[in-house]
Amino acid sequence: MSGARRVVVLDYGFGNVRSAVRALEHVGAEVELTADRTAAENADGLVVPGVGAFAACVDGVRAVDGHRVIGRRLAGGRPVLGICVGLQVLFSRGVEHGVEAEGLGEWPGTVEQLKASPLPHMGWNTIDAPGGSVLFDGIEKERFFFVHSYAVRRWELPESERLRPPLVTWAEHGGDRFIAAVENGPLSATQFHPEKSGDAGLTLLRNWMKGLDT
C-alpha cells in the first residue's frame, strides 16, 4: 500500500475497534491497531474509538498515555478523530448515574443522559451540519448510525475573535438536541459510528483522511 496514509486506531480496551479498522482500510488507509505511544504520535492520523461508560473510557485512555498522545498531536497540528465515547471523553466532564468523572478537557462541556425516550438512542438519524463542514462535505443530508444514551447537550466554548470557531454539528432524538460532531482544527469527533453508517460513513472517513495530506 505504497503512499497510503498511516492511521493508528488507539487500542485501550474499549470500543468496536475491528469495525473501525476495517472501515478505514476500506477507504485506503494503512491501519495499525495499537496502544504504542510512539506509533500513535507518529501516524498520519489517530482514531480514538469508544464504547461503554465515560469514566471507564477516560481511565482506559489515560492508562495507555492516550491523553498525552492526543495533546502532543494537537500541539503539532496532527489530525485526531474521536468516535462515540471517543468524542465524549474529549469534553471536560461526564455525569453518569449521579457520578461525575473528569474528561480530557479539550472542550468545555458535560456529557449527560439524554432527556428523551426511548433510550438508548439507537438507529439511523439525520444531522444538522454547519456550512463549511469538511467531514460532511457532500453528505449533509445523509443518515448516520447512533447508539448511545449520553451526549453533550450544550456547546460551552466561548467565542474568540482571535481563533476560528469550531464547527459543531447537531442531531435530535425525542425532542432533545445534542452534539453529533465537532470539527476543531486537527481535532474532529463524531457521536455516531461512521464505521457502521454505510456509504455515508465511509465518505465521512474519506473526507477526514483528506486532511491527513496537509
Q: What is the pLDDT of residues 168-179, one digit of tens each?
A: 999 999 999 999
Domain that holds residue 207: 6-213
Selected catalytic residue, list 106, 112, 183, 195: 195
| CATH assignment of the domain containing 97 | 3.40.50.880
The 80-83 sheet, strands edge to edge = 30-34, 6-10, 45-48, 80-83, 187-190, 176-184, 167-173
What's the pLDDT tens digit per position in 129-175?
Answer: 999 999 999 999 999 999 999 999 999 998 877 778 999 999 999 99
Within a domain: residue 150?
yes
Selected catalytic residue, list 57, 84, 121, 148: 84
Q: Which of 101, 50, 122, 113 is nearest to 80 (CA)?
A: 50
Residue written as grid cell 485512555: 61
CB 143 within 8 A of CB 132: no
Within a domain: residue 19?
yes
| Residue 193 appears among annotated catalytic residues | yes
pLDDT of 214: 61
| Residue 121 appears among annotated catalytic residues | no
Within a domain: residue 1?
no
Count structural domains, the chain.
Answer: 1
| Residue 195 appears among annotated catalytic residues | yes
Quote the cell numbers at residue 67: 491523553
